[in-house]
Amino acid sequence: MKNNHSNIEKAKKYLTNNDVVAIPTETVYGLAGNAYSNKAVKKIFSLKKRPLKNPLIVHYYRIKDLKQDCIVNETFNKLYSKFCPGPLTFVLNKKKNSKLSKYVNANKKTIAVRFPKNKITQNLLSKLNFPLAAPSANISTKLSPVKPEDVKDEFGNKIKLILDGGKTKIGLESTIVDLTEKISILRPGGITIELLEKVLHRKIKLKNLLKNIKSPGQLGFHYSPGIPVRLNAKYPKKK
Ligand code: AMP
Ligand code: MG
């Protein structure tokens, strides 16, 4: 579906009504809903068959809006000015008076946030008076969608609208950086550790994947294709 003005207006209408729509980002397609609404956020979990204890990433357009919901620090400011909008997710402390649904961050004290780079989604966010909770638009543990057709295959008519942004530029999840304690990477992704280290002039640890599971993206069973996989394949075999 083409993204003329009327589709963005349609998406706005659905989202304001606590419905869920698929949105393009520079990483993968997201399944988006009003992050301030329990109803919308619960719909996302149920469509994805995602366990309620696995928190979602909240997407913002303006830093001023983000500051209503979470506490930023000097490291955030440095990384924001270098990499945002872009494929970098920050885990920050949530403000006590934030309007975010308690389901969006699994009732934790922290919240994962990012600023997507896709123009269609930025345009949509700029017209809303709430941020968007948007996990990848796939059933939990399956591969993340990089084309509108992937989203359609996964959810069929269960979602009302897919905003078409063509194939996503990066096709890989955002890097998740935890700024609530000593800085660490919770999930490798679109921005490399080396790039982050260069900007901050210090070494950054990738959290021990097995010792301290802070993001389910760190689990061994995640992003699985659902059919047998041949490793190191250079050419397709017959059938
Ligand atoms: P997805 O939305 O599918 O890209 O996955 C988002 C990832 O962010 C999941 O692995 C979550 O566990 C992780 N995440 C979201 N919120 C938090 C948080 N507050 N602390 C740590 N990880 C989080
Ligand atoms: Mg995902």
Q: How far is the CA of 106 from the centre of ligand 1 (A)?
A: 10
Give the CATH number of the domain where residue 122 resides: 3.90.870.10
Residue 141 — very low, low, confident or very high, per pLDDT cuts 50/70/90?
Answer: confident
Asked, for residue 213, whether it belongs to a domain, the answer is no
Q: Is the pLDDT of residue 4 over 70?
A: no
Asked, for residue 92, whether it belongs to a domain, the answer is yes
Asked, for residue 156, whether it belongs to a domain, the answer is yes
Residue range(s) defining the domain that contains residue 184: 5-206
3-state SS assignment for residue 101: coil
pLDDT tens-digit map of 205-225: 998 654 544 555 555 555 667
pLDDT tens-digit map of 178-191: 999 999 999 999 89
55 C-beta closer than 6 A to ligand 1: yes
Atom of ligand 1 nearest to the CA of 136: 3
Asked, for residue 180, whether it belongs to a domain, the answer is yes
CA distances from 87 to 24, 77, 106, 159, 167 (A): 13, 16, 22, 25, 16
Indicate the number of domains in the chain: 1
Asked, for residue 212, whether it belongs to a domain, the answer is no
pLDDT tens-digit map of 88-118: 999 999 999 999 999 999 999 999 999 999 9
111 C-beta closer than 6 A to ligand 1: yes
Q: Which ligand is nearest to the CA of 134?
A: 1
CB 175 within 8 A of CB 187: yes
pTM, two decimals, is 0.89
Q: Which residues surround the ion ligand 2 when the cut-off is CB under 5 Å? A: 136
Q: Which ligand is nearest to the CA of 139?
A: 2
Phi, psi of 105 (to 5 degrees): -115, 25
